[in-house]
Amino acid sequence: MLDETTEFGQRATRRLHEEIIGWLTTVAPDGGPRPIPVWFLWDGARSILLYSRPEKRKLANIAANPKVSLNVDSDGIEADIVVCWGEMHVSNDPPSNEVPDYLRKYAGRIEALGWTPESFAADFSVPLRIELSRIHGW
């Protein structure tokens, strides 16, 4: 999906792997956008994995309209913004504490916020996957 021979492709790849927070935007029943910060794991190709608490509104939003975007904000220097579009669905991915790459990325933050990997996985028990249709940025 990303051409890593281009400058943008290289920057976007690095940011999608390294950034901690992304802004997930779902569509509410009234048609309005609903952006929220999320932790995410890009597979390096065509999908992004994230986890939700079961009672969150984003689950109802995607059940009604699976179209979403995930944005990686400016780097604060040269914009370097990455925008991913796709459709998100509840997935059959394993719990976050059984995904080594997710734990590598977020273990320090999970611990800093008072969770263990197991308690985080219990709280954020709904795996979600965005199947990407496009990655854009500037």
Residues 42-81: tens digit of each pLDDT = 999 999 999 999 999 999 999 999 999 999 987 667 778 8
Predicted structure pTM score: 0.93
- pLDDT the model gives residue 75: 64
Q: For residue 84, give the amino acid letter.
A: C
Low-confidence ranges of the chain (pLDDT < 50): none
Q: Check: CATH 3.10.129.10 for 7-95+126-137? A: no
The total of other beta-carbon atoms located within 10 Å of residue 103's CB is: 17
* Contacts of 26 by beta carbon, 8 Å cutoff, 6+ apart: 33, 34, 36, 57, 58, 61, 62, 65, 68, 88
